[in-house]
A = this chain, B = another copy of it.
Amino acid sequence: MLRARTVSDKDSRRQELLDAALDEFFERGFSAARMEDIAKRAGLSKGTLYLYFDSKDALFKAIIDALATPNLEVISAIATSAPSFSEALDRVAVFAPTVIRTSKLPRLMKVIVGDSHTFPEILIEYRQNILDRILGLFGELLSQAKAAGEIEVEDPYLAARIVMGPMLLSGLWHALFSDTPGGEVDLEKLFRMHASAMKKAFAPVENSQ
């Protein structure tokens, strides 16, 4: 392989390694993934991989770091920019299928679920920094919608789990089964139904006298 001379060369090579690693971790699991395979997948040799990451552990952590924040931001953008709960659900219905199909998020979810045990402290950190944040955003959204009289809900932060549940299910399902016969799901239709269902689920009770 040619040498990476410039800083941006190094950055892009680093990124290729992260991508390759996520793929291998996803396909084989952290323990079973081989450093040499990761390097090869990125078109490099085993030794070179170690110029970029000190260890397999470091590689794992780097993946989490590299993906957690951006993903959080995307989701955050959807949740916070929407003027209403209803509008947020519509945006989810539009974006979720694409995110599930094209982003690394579903693969990352699978890796985190599957290999979390390797670094318990990372798992806790991840939950606090990412998952709690995301649930908090949706909880906040519901909370504000409730305050605005848009919806009626007992505990907005718990309700966020009801809203997010189908997304997790769809993401993991896609990661695990999308390429097996009978494993395809019509995500567009599903999330259209999801938006509509959630709107009705939390709609204020009509007291129309």
> Footprint of B on A, CB under 8 Å?
26-32, 110, 113-118, 123-124, 127-128, 132, 153-155, 158-159, 161-162, 164-170, 172-173, 176-177, 180, 182-183, 185-186, 189-190, 193-194, 197-198, 200-203, 206, 208
With beta carbons under 8 angstroms apart, the residue of B118, B166, B177 that contacts A127 is B177
Given A31-B31, A32-B31, A114-B113: A166 and B161 within 8 A (CB)?
yes
Q: Across the interface, do A206 and B203 meet the contact criterion of CB distance under 8 Å?
A: no
Question: Does B197 contact A202, Cβ atoms closer than 8 Å?
Answer: yes
Given A190-B161, A197-B162, verify A182-B118 contact (CB < 8 Å). Answer: no
Copies in the complex: 4
- Among the listed B28, B190, B206, which residue makes an inter-chain contact with A158, where contact means beta carbons less than 8 Å apart? B190
- A194 — which chain B residues lie within 8 A by C-beta? 162
Distance, CA A180 to CA B118, complexed state (A): 15
**Which B residue's beta carbon lies closest to that of A113?**
B113
Q: How far is the CA of A167 from the CA of B168 in the complex (A)?
A: 10
The reply to whether B190 and A201 contact each other, CB–CB distance below 8 Å, is: no
| A155→B189 contact, CB < 8 A | yes
> Contacts of A159 on B, CB cut-off 8 Å?
193, 197
Q: Nearest chain-B residue to A176 (Cβ)?
A: B116
Question: Can you give 6 contacting A-B residue pairs, CB < 8 Å?
Answer: A154-B193, A162-B190, A164-B169, A165-B166, A198-B201, A200-B201
